Amino acid sequence: MFTKILVANRGEVAVRIIRACKEMGIETVAVYSEADRNSLPVALADERICIGGKSAAESYLNQKNIISAALACNAGAIHPGYGFLSENPEFAALCEANDIVFIGPKSQVMQSMGDKDHARSLMKEIGVPVVPGTEILKDVEEAKALAEEIGFPLLVKATAGGGGKGIRVVSSREELENAFLTASAEAQSAFGNGQVFLEKYLNHVRHVEMQILADNFGNMVCLGERDCSLQLNKQKVLEETPSPVMTEEIRGKMMAAAIKAAKAANYTNAGTVEFLLAPNGEFYFIEMNTRLQVEHPITEEISGIDIVKWQIRIACQIPLDFTQGDIHLKGHAMECRINARSTGKIHFLHIPGGARVHFDTALVQDCEVVPFYDSMLGKLIVFANTREDAIRKMETALCEMVIEGVETNIEDQLKLIRSKSFWQGAYDTLILPEILAEGSE
């Protein structure tokens, strides 16, 4: 087992990883920006190293500084968390070149599955259904010609996109050129790759993802699905598991497809295969996230399996000690992302409690919410035996939570879980703006 791991991230995910390491008897190193000098992860870690200025480019995206920090403190491995460098094959390769274990898949696998065009082609080869679309486009004129074949509405999507970046919805031919150019420019700026393709835009679908764990000895399991359909501007807001519309038949088929996809990619460690689920039960592969997901805790709640600890064990060449038959998913879990809508000092903080209620966060009294990084303050997670009980528990926890000093989306989360659409489980990827506009029913 590793004796020391460097955590190349910040905020709640850095806290999550540090706590897992402490429970496993592993020393931790926190790297931090100048803006995060007094943050909770820095306080919790055994060692701490400043890697740059306040911006992400100067610090958490500074590959050379992070590698130098790992070498300086003799860390045997780096856990990238999610965001920042977690899906950067160049960084994973740099770790490998410096004899540092990257806790995630191999750089070649990350490269191939991170390229949406390649991933789509691979899925077609192995018979996993994909959304109708094109290969990488040469220019706008090719896009216009192929768009007529696919039909409107459609999506312009970056091959290297993620987090809602490099994606544009196109309703007509007249909108296509501008959407093509803006999506390409956005992807080039965010990911250094401006290549795009077209994909049929499916209405009233759900975004459902399957959690995979795979070791280096050919063992692979699926820990069930998460429904991530409730989104604003392509960003997830609330996730739950199991999906309220999932049947045993569809779950079985989707889990089999996810395992098939991961095996075809020679995938190891934790990963997520993402699908669109249509009202008629048909589903389509959209991408594979080659990292830990923000919403992983709800899968841990219903499966009893610590995904972060298993990421570390797998990276240390330890085989899974359970099979698919050993996994029994029980109860219902959901997660609300609590986001900041302003910056400033937290001058009063009350975190809700109770059985199977927790708030994954790096917030502490009097800490500063800075403008340089993602707006997520933390994740409120609840578990109950039934979906109805989980909803009521989440409502209670949201009502109890107090974060004063910055504006948050807590009230919007309350509107969402109190809505008739959510209670009935009758939602899709388009409905959240309507729910928030109407308020509680």
Catalytic residue IDs: 291
> 95 and 123 in contact (C-beta within 8 Å)?
no
Q: Residue 287's closest CA among 142, 425, 163? A: 163
Cis link prior to 352 (omega < 30° from 0)? no
- The answer for residues whose C-beta is within 8 angstroms of residue 395's C-beta and 6 or more apart is 414, 417, 418
Instruction: Please tell me the distance from the alpha carbon of residue 358 to that of residue 391, in angstroms, as a whole number.
Output: 14
- Provide the 3-class DSSP secondary structure of residue 9: coil
Instruction: Please tell me the distance from the alpha carbon of residue 234 to that of residue 407, in angstroms, as a whole number.
Output: 21
Q: Residue 4's closest CA among 104, 101, 106? A: 101
Instruction: Please tell me the distance from the alpha carbon of residue 226 to that of residue 133, in angstroms, as a whole number.
Output: 25
In terms of phi and psi (left: phi > 0; alpha: psi -120 to 50; beta: otherwise), the region of 142 is: alpha
> 302 and 329 in contact (C-beta within 8 Å)?
yes
Task: Calculate ∠ Cα 365-366-372, nearest 5°.
Answer: 110
What is the b/e burial string over 337-360, where b = at least 16 CB atoms within 10 angstroms of the residue's CB?
Answer: bbbbeeeeebeebebbeeeebbbb
Q: Residue 416's closest CA among 303, 320, 299, 337? A: 337
DSSP designation for 38: T
Sign of the CA dihedral running 31, 166, 267, 306: positive
Q: What are phi and psi of 411, to 5 degrees?
A: -65, -40
Tell me which H or E stretch contains 208.
strand 206-214
Residues, the chain: 441
> 351 and 379 in contact (C-beta within 8 Å)?
no
The helix-helix angle for 387-400 and 410-418 (nearest 10°) equals 150
